[in-house]
Structure 1
């Protein structure tokens, strides 16, 4: 009996994983491709092309009033679909109405304001925020840190596969060394409990899990800021301890800003902008 061909969105997922894109990108691309298909009354993308893509992108800008970055994300998803899944090249430029880019200056906190905010957050979320500010990391970069990425001897942090799939080295402030070391002692105890209970596995990037079968349980590959609970890997059946979710840190920062009575639009990326400003 012949096996049924995979559904289009499953083909998209397989191709994304083959190219080692992040799970977040996978979710985003699948959602945009599904939305594109529904917009055109469930027509198969093979039957569509330039005109349909332009109509969809124009609708996002005109009717949906999305931001330029959101429209570009949708375009990237569709280009991925046609180029890598359907293997159809789209010849010529796309003539869609483009969303307007927002023009606003990023929020920068003074050194005193940063200290006021950080004093309002305790525990692991507080330590995460201090690392973001002290090392100039994006939130995802901070949460993706592995044990091996923190070099206490050299006072530096290695940020791997950052935006643009490039790695870089940044500073680790002396003031964060002791709090991080105390935190990692607790993380190690948590990891050892997981191992004793038959768990302790962590997601490994690219094909490392196949190349090094036992590396997923090694201490150096564990996340610096692991989740408080184990969960099933969305790309498989393995129960693992992932890193902290972004939303928890974001909520903690929001509460801290309100408690500090700072009347500015502040997000985790604000700490990165403030780091760069105070460093100059």
Structure 2
């Protein structure tokens, strides 16, 4: 027979949980998930905009959609972000990279490498979603090669 807790009892239990266990239990209760369903969730199963969780191959091997409670969205989003940040930082450290590396480094490298490959600043601006090209210009500091990076039109004649 299932145990039934009152709302106050549940609050007391949740208040004594922290970190990942609190997130998991909050999702179990807030979305009506089974433990295994919760543990098998992937980032792509979470739709923060629509407030939905897609449970894949639940009991009976059926997919279903359940709500993603507003009360857990912020903590869950922050958790996912910090896990990725830590993973990128750790990977850089394991690779022997001594520079400070984080997720935003990838965006910076994207722009820098496109510019190094000769793509025009306006294209890179558009891809980055910058409203003003001056924001994109900050990525050109690594390209400061003077006239050495430019081929004279005279040489093309």
TM-score by length of 2: 0.56
Q: Which residue number corresponds to residue 155 of structure 2?
A: none
Structure 2 residue aligned with 1:164, among 60, 75, 84? 60
| 1:146, distance to aligned residue in structure 2 (A) | 0.5
Unaligned runs of 5+ residues in structure 1 are 1-104, 200-280
Unaligned runs of 5+ residues in structure 2 are 96-157
Measured in 1, the distance between the counterparts of 2:32 and 2:39 equals 13
Measured in 2, the distance between the counterparts of 1:172 and 1:194 equals 30
1:1-280 alignment runs, 5 A limit: 105-193=1-89, 195-196=91-92
Task: Report which of the two has the higher share of helix.
Answer: 2
Aligned partner of residue 38 in structure 2, secondary structure: helix
| 1:163, distance to aligned residue in structure 2 (A) | 1.5
Q: Larger Cα Rg: Structure 1 or Structure 2?
A: 2
Measured in 2, the distance between the counterparts of 1:138 and 1:107 equals 15
Size of the aligned set, in residue pairs, is 95
Q: Describe the shift of the 1:121–1:152 C-alpha distance in structure 2 as closer, same or farther (beyond 3 A).
A: same
Measured in 1, the distance between the counterparts of 2:22 and 2:7 equals 16
Measured in 1, the distance between the counterparts of 2:37 and 2:91 equals 26
| 1:187, distance to aligned residue in structure 2 (A) | 1.3
CA RMSD of aligned residues (A): 1.9
Name which structure has the greater RCO, CA cutoff 8 Å, separation 6+: 1
| Cα offsets for 1:54-99 (capped at 9, x unmatched) | xxxxxxxxxxxxxxxxxxxxxxxxxxxxxxxxxxxxxxxxxxxxxx
TM-score by length of 1: 0.32
Measured in 2, the distance between the counterparts of 1:195 and 1:149 equals 25
